[in-house]
């Protein structure tokens, strides 16, 4: 009859092996993911739908996240202290800024001049459905 320590060791080894396999799979997935992204970009594709297995339709989308950063000092200089104060608490409130732009108090082009777009890392989004 195995002891509890022996059982514990067996479970620990099983977990360790599973983690090793997961680590290897993750590295393989990462390599394949990067290759698929590069291929989609080289083909100019942003979406692909196909049937890899019977009764399964796989939809793959290339996702390119980005974020916008505003130079607050440049914005304040560009729109003036009064308008800047109207959209700020300690830093500009994006909601208030959007409202001011919608009202026409601040030009979209002014905000664009003091903003930069930072491209994120491309990724793939997968969705499946029954065929």
106 domain-assigned:
yes
Say if 129 falls within a structural domain.
Answer: no
Question: Does a structural domain hold residue 124?
Answer: no
Q: Is residue 79 a part of any domain in this protein?
A: yes
What confidence tier does 131 reach under pLDDT thresholds 50, 70, 90? low
The count of other CB atoms within 10 Å of the CB of residue 53 is 9
DSSP 122: -
pLDDT digits (tens, 9 = 90+) for 20-75: 888 888 888 888 888 888 998 999 998 988 888 888 888 889 988 888 888 988 99
Per the domain annotation, does 109 fall within a domain?
yes
Cβ pair 49, 59 in contact under 8 A = yes
User: Does a structural domain hold residue 131?
Assistant: no
The H or E element containing residue 71 is none
Per-residue model confidence as pLDDT tens digits over 63-114: 888 888 889 889 989 999 888 888 887 777 888 899 999 999 999 999 999 9
Rounded distance between C-alpha atoms, residue 111 and residue 97, angstroms: 9
Cβ atoms of 66 and 121 closer than 8 Å:
no
Answer for the pair 118, 42: CB distance below 8 angstroms, yes or no. Answer: no
Work out the angle at residue 66's Cα, subtended by the Cα atoms of residues 25 and 59, and round it to the nearest 5 degrees: 50
pLDDT for position 102: 94
Other C-beta atoms within 10 Å of 131: how many? 9
Quote the domain boundaries for residue 97.
72-113
């Amino acid at each position: 009859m195995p002891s509890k320590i022996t059982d514990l060791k067996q479970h620990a080894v099983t977990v360790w092996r599973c983690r090793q396999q997961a680590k290897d799979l993750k590295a393989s997935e990462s390599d394949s993911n990067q290759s698929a992204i590069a291929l989609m970009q080289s083909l100019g594709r942003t979406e692909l739908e196909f049937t890899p297995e019977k009764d399964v339709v796989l939809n793959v989308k290339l996702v390119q996240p980005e974020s916008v950063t505003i130079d607050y000092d440049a914005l304040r200089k560009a729109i003036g202290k009064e308008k800047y104060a109207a959209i700020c608490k300690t830093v500009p409130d994006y909601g208030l800024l959007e409202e001011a732009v919608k009202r026409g108090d601040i030009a979209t082009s002014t905000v664009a001049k003091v903003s930069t777009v930072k491209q994120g890392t491309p990724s793939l989004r997968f969705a499946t459905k029954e065929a």
